[in-house]
């Protein structure tokens, strides 16, 4: 059983793409897989559900809304989970109004509700991946509390490198205060250009600081944009493409860390 959160406080690092494609690879290998989308932008939801995405269907906002009121007959967790067109792959979709609930959830101390839901859903799903908003807020903290592993996408940028230390400190504080099982399983370098000097220098700086940079690098490719446009994860759209192979290598590297 895998409970993973994909987290970075910086936007534009490919967080949703990585979460969705890892979930798709997991499903393609026969594992019952759930992606929980906590990013109000809902990119991962649209990516995986495509035409099956029904904004009127119960979603993650409805789940959190339900935690704010006592109900004699609450909706079962399964009602917030929706099947994709791909075998073994399911989504608890996001909602653009999710952020409107944040202050109410914080004031009512609902920070552990997602953790409790994930534990219950673990009885059905072998792998649960949580996509997070590009901020350290109630929803990303809820995800860190609910997960066992944290995967950090990183783009080769000096500002991103400086922000990484704050991110790692927040993860460590969450582990100490709320979730002793949580650990950073690795930093995955995304949109990497191996022939360019600057990205190499940035990665070397991370390694010099003994940060857990994963061996697999994800290249920048127009194929990812095509995948988004077609709402079809790479493993299904272009299984033999170089970038798909890199995602598979990333999945296998992460899987090996669990042994």
Count other Cβ atoms within 10 Å, centred on residue 91: 28
Q: Could you list the pLDDT tens digit for every one of the 259 residues in the chain?
A: 899 999 999 888 999 999 999 999 999 999 999 999 999 999 999 999 986 666 678 999 999 999 998 887 889 999 999 999 999 999 999 999 999 999 999 999 999 999 999 999 999 999 999 999 999 999 999 999 999 999 999 998 878 888 899 999 999 999 999 999 999 999 999 999 888 888 899 999 999 999 999 999 999 999 999 999 999 999 999 999 999 999 999 999 999 987 5
Which domains are seen in the chain, by residue range?
A: 2-257 (3.40.50.300)
Cα(164)–Cα(145) distance, integer angstroms:
19
Do 50 and 90 touch, CB atoms closer than 8 A?
A: no
Cα(91)–Cα(233) distance, integer angstroms:
14
Model confidence, pTM: 0.96
Cα(217)–Cα(186) distance, integer angstroms:
12
Q: Which helix (H) or strand (E) holds 116?
A: helix 113-121
Q: Looking at residue 216, what DSSP letter applies? A: E
Whose CA is closest to 41, among 134, 145, 147?
134
Cα(186)–Cα(195) distance, integer angstroms:
23
């Amino acid at each position: 059983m895998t409970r993973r959160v994909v987290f970075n406080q910086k936007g534009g690092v490919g967080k949703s793409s990585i979460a969705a494609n890892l979930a798709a690879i997991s499903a393609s290998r026969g594992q019952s897989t759930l992606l929980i989308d906590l990013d109000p932008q809902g990119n991962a939801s649209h990516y995986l559900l495509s035409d099956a995405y029904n904004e009127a269907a119960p979603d993650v906002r409805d789940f959190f809304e339900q935690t704010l009121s006592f109900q004699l007959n609450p909706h079962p967790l399964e009602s917030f989970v929706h099947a994709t067109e791909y075998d073994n792959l399911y989504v608890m979709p996001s909602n653009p109004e999710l952020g409107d609930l944040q202050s109410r959830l914080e004031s009512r101390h609902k920070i552990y509700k997602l953790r409790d839901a994930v534990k219950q859903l673990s009885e059905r799903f072998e792998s649960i991946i949580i996509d997070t908003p590009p901020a350290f807020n109630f929803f990303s903290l809820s995800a860190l509390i609910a997960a066992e592993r944290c995967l950090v996408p990183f783009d080769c940028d000096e500002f991103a490198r400086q922000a990484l230390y704050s991110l790692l400190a927040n993860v460590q504080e969450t582990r100490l205060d709320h979730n002793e099982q949580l650990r950073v399983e690795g930093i995955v370098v995304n949109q990497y250009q191996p022939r360019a000097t600057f990205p190499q220098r940035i990665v070397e700086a991370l390694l010099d600081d003994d940060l857990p940079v994963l061996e697999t690098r994800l290249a920048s490719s127009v194929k990812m944009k095509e995948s988004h446009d077609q709402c079809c994860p790479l493993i299904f759209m272009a299984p033999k493409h170089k970038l798909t192979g890199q995602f598979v290598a990333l999945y296998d590297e992460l899987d090996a860390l669990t042994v």
